[in-house]
Amino acid sequence: MAPLFSIILPTYNRAHMLRAAVKSVLAQSCRDFECFVLDDGSTDETPRVFAEFQGESLLHLQRFPDNRRQHVRRNWALGRAQGRFVAFLDSDDIWLPDRLEVFGRVLAARPAVDFLFSNAWLWRDNRIIGTLFDADQPLAEGAVPGWYAVGHAQLPYLTSNLAIRRSLFDRVGRFREDMEILEDTELYARMLKDGACVGAIRRPLAVRRLHAGQITHDHEVDYREALMALEAGGAPQDVFLKEKERLALASAGYLWRALRPREARQFLLRELGDKASSLPLYWLTFLPFGTLAWAKELRRRCLMARHHPAWACPEIRGVYRLIDPLLAQEKTAA
């Protein structure tokens, strides 16, 4: 019989992080799944990690000789997936043990839901620094506009925190392979535009790891592809223009926080014209580089002190107890 979930886990040169991700899948209390672990042409120790999991009946291990990016590999797995719902996990993220069990209960109780997402813990520098979204904030559910998939203002999801009805891929299509960064957002915009029913779980069921080894985004490509996703989601002209301004400001903000103030200023001028000079961020880009670097490091240190495990609430201490053994194994294997 076909499983409830097909999990797709692509990876590229994240050997030690991959081990924790795969083990978090195998630790699921719900066993009604198949998992495709896909090596996208890694040149590190990923083959050795794969060897550790040979013989696991719930895993389909597939290595590819060349690197073609994760959306190509996801499409490969979608062509073979048998589950009623498809769930994705990035190789640097970790699921909590009851992630699939909770998703399964919600999907059984809400059979109309096609596109289900949960909250997540955010992890940085060996700290849990908060959650992806405020559990008390209003969330859009049911049938929503396609452009809600763009940004986190309406739907604060991450691909690692989703479960999507497999028939949606048959109806709407798969990931565009001509995109570089936001192929997932563009696909989800098409799904929501097509009428997918959205559901939300406010409880964090995964750990989203923020780290220096993540792929550095080309923020201009990110911005351009976000506009493509808005179009795919059928955003009306007034919404498109408003969201374009928000996205331009967000992209410039990323550049500024990455200590690239001149690029941020030029980006604002190019995308927003004369309106750019009325924005506080525009004037912040004139701060000296040394001041920006000092402020960034001060913010990081304050964040680490504020979220030290010694001050953690019982719920967060429980999360540390679950993930610390996995992280310790990474350090041992490194």
Mean pLDDT of the chain: 94
pLDDT at 216 over 70: no
- Contacts of residues 57-64 at CB distance under 8 Å and 24 or more positions apart, as own/partner, are 58/25, 58/26, 58/31, 58/33, 58/34, 59/22, 59/25, 59/26, 59/35, 60/34, 60/35, 60/36, 61/37, 62/36, 62/37, 62/38, 63/38, 63/39, 64/38, 64/39, 64/40
Fold (topology level) of 5-210: Spore Coat Polysaccharide Biosynthesis Protein SpsA; Chain A (3.90.550)
pLDDT, one tens digit per residue, over 23-49 is 999 999 999 999 999 999 999 999 999
Whole-model pTM: value is 0.94
pLDDT digits (tens, 9 = 90+) for 301-329: 999 999 999 999 999 999 999 999 998 87
For 247, the token pair is 């996205």
Task: Give mean pLDDT, residues 250-254.
Answer: 93
The answer to whether residue 187 scores a pLDDT higher than 90 is yes
Distances (CA, A) of 205 to 11, 103, 119, 220, 326: 21, 9, 6, 31, 16
CATH 3.90.550.10 domain range(s) in the chain:
5-210
Q: Which pLDDT does position 152 carry in this prediction?
A: 84
Model confidence at 256, pLDDT cuts 50, 70, 90, reads very high
